[in-house]
Amino acid sequence: MNTTNTTVQTQEPSSRRLVMSMAIAGFISGMIIIAIYMLTFDTIKENKARELRLAVFKVLPHVSHMQKLHFKDNKLVVVKADGMDDEMIFAGYDKDKKFIGYAIQGKAPGFQDTVHVLYGYLSSNSNITGMEILDSRETPGLGDKIFKDMDFVGEFINLPMHKDIKAVKKGTKTHENEIDAITGATISSKVVVKIINQAFKKWSPRLAEQGNEPALELYEAKVNKESQ
- Residue pair 77/89 in contact (Cβ under 8 Å)? The answer is no
| Per-residue pLDDT at 53 | 82
**The model's pTM:** 0.74
* DSSP 3-state of 202: helix
| Domain coordinates in residue numbering, the chain | 45-227
DSSP state letter for 20: H
- Residue pair 108/135 in contact (Cβ under 8 Å)? The answer is no
Q: Is the pLDDT of residue 40 over 50?
A: yes
Q: Is the pLDDT of residue 226 over 90?
A: no
Q: Is the pLDDT of residue 180 over 90?
A: yes
Query: Span 61-81, mean pLDDT?
Result: 87
For the chain, the maximum distance between any two Cα atoms, rounded to a whole number of angstroms, is: 110
Pairwise pLDDT comparison (46 vs 125), residue with the higher score:
125
Instruction: Spell out the residues 6+ positions from residue 110 whose beta carbon is closer than 8 angstroms to its own.
Output: 136, 137, 138, 143, 187, 188, 191
Query: Span 80-93, mean pLDDT?
Result: 83
